[in-house]
Every structure is written in structure tokens, then in C-alpha cells.
Structure 1
Amino acid sequence: MFFTPDPAWPVIILAAIVGGDALMSIRPPRFIRECYAGVGFPLDWGWVLVYVKLLAVAGLLVGLEYDGVGVAACAGVVAYFLAATAAHVRARFTGTEFWVNCLGMLALAVGVLGYSFVW
């Protein structure tokens, strides 16, 4: 069974970054709108991604106290960015946004999952 994260600080940093991403997605700046358009995601459905990200933040923070919740939330963040990566590759939208934002967040989430929960 997975316990609470040890150390907890990477999970807190990931929660802060995903939370900031969710807040930016409420009124998406140009680079987020371009990502949506590039992968064919309708801008009208952007609110769904805001909720998904806010739920991830809640799970990461609740998981600091309750066994198993944090690892599930962190795995969910990894799955989210794996799906985003697949959408970018499928749409052949692999510019700077893909390499910096999408793969950068995927690497961060995988790193936090490994460092705080697995190793």
C-alpha cells in the first residue's frame, strides 16, 4: 500500500503548478488557446480541463494526510499529461508548447510520482 508522500514538498510544488495552470485556464492566454486549437480541442470545453486540474490539486493536497489519495492523484496527473502528449503527437502539433509545457509537465509529474511515492 502507498502511504503519504515522503518527502511531501515535491507534491506541494506539483499541486501549486497544476493549480496555477487551472487558474490560467479559466481565461486562457494565447499559448493555451493555441494548444487547444492545435490539437483540435474545442475552446468551449476548456472549463472541463479547469475542473480536472482543480480536482487533481485537491487530491494531491488531501493525499498529504490520507494514505493512497496522493499517489492516485499524482498518477492521475501523469495520465492527464500522457493523454495531452498523445493528443499533440496525433495532431502533429509538436512545437514549442508541446516540448516545454506538455512534456515538461509530464516529466515533472513522473518525477514527483517516483520521488515522493515510489523510490
Structure 2
Amino acid sequence: MILIPSSWLPPALLAAVLLIDVALSIRPVQFIRYCLHGVRFPEEWWWSLLVIKALATAGLIAGIWMPGLAFAANSGVIVYFLCAAIAHIRAKATGSAFWINCLGMLALSCATLALSLI
């Protein structure tokens, strides 16, 4: 069982990227707005994504020192972006936002988990 990441750098990098994503989503920039409209996610629920990503960021950072927390937070981020990918596919919104934003973040999350296991 993985209790503490083998290196602090991968979860810290993912946390930084998620934090930037949260900052860009407070007043969504055009590509985030386009992405959320593309999957027909209701605007009145956009705040929930900020909360989820902020909590994941906190979990990744705290998990550097707290056994098991980074693993759980990283796994949650992977599930989040898997759900986002499914939403894009179901909505047939498979343009550049899907390939770059959604699958790019999914790949980064998976790589972070893999590097943390080494």
C-alpha cells in the first residue's frame, strides 16, 4: 500500500496545475466556458467544480506529509477527469477542448499517480 508519495514533486505539480485551473475558473476564461457549455453543464453548478478542484489541491498538498491522502486525492482527480471525458464523449464535444484540456489533465493525473508509486 502506498502511504506517502515517493517524491513530493509530482503531487505538488498536479496541485499547482489544479490551483491554476481553479483560478481560471472563478470567472471562467473563454476556453473553460466553451468546454462547460460544450458538455451542457449548467452554469448554476459551475461553483461545484471549483470546490472539487480546490479540495483536491488541498488533499494533494496535505498528502505529501499525511499517509494515504495524496493517493486518495490523486485517485479522485483521475475519476473527476474520467467523468469529464465521458461527459465530453456523450455530448459529442470532442474538439480541441476535449483533447487538450480534458485528456491532457487526465494524462497528467495518471502520470502523477504512476510517478508517486515508484
TM-score (norm 2): 0.97
Is 1:43 aligned to residue 43 of structure 2? yes
Partner Cα separation in structure 2 for residue 43 and residue 67 of structure 1: 36
Partner Cα separation in structure 2 for residue 100 and residue 87 of structure 1: 15
Percent identity between the aligned chains?
47
Partner Cα separation in structure 2 for residue 78 and residue 86 of structure 1: 12
Match of 1:73 in 2: 73
TM-score (norm 1): 0.96
Query: Structure 1: which 5+ runs fail to align?
Result: none
Q: Alignment RMSD, CA only? A: 0.8
Deviation at 1:30, TM superposition (A): 1.0
Equivalenced residue count is 118
Runs of 4+ in 1 over 2 A off after TM superposition: none
Query: Structure 2: which 5+ runs fail to align?
Result: none
Q: Equivalent residue of 1:61, what SS? A: helix
For residues 78-97 of structure 1, what are the structure 2 equivalents within 5 Å? 78-97=78-97
Deviations for 1:39-68, whole angstroms, at most 9, x for unmatched residues? 010122111000000000000011000110
Q: Give the residue type in structure 1 aligned to 2:16.
A: A
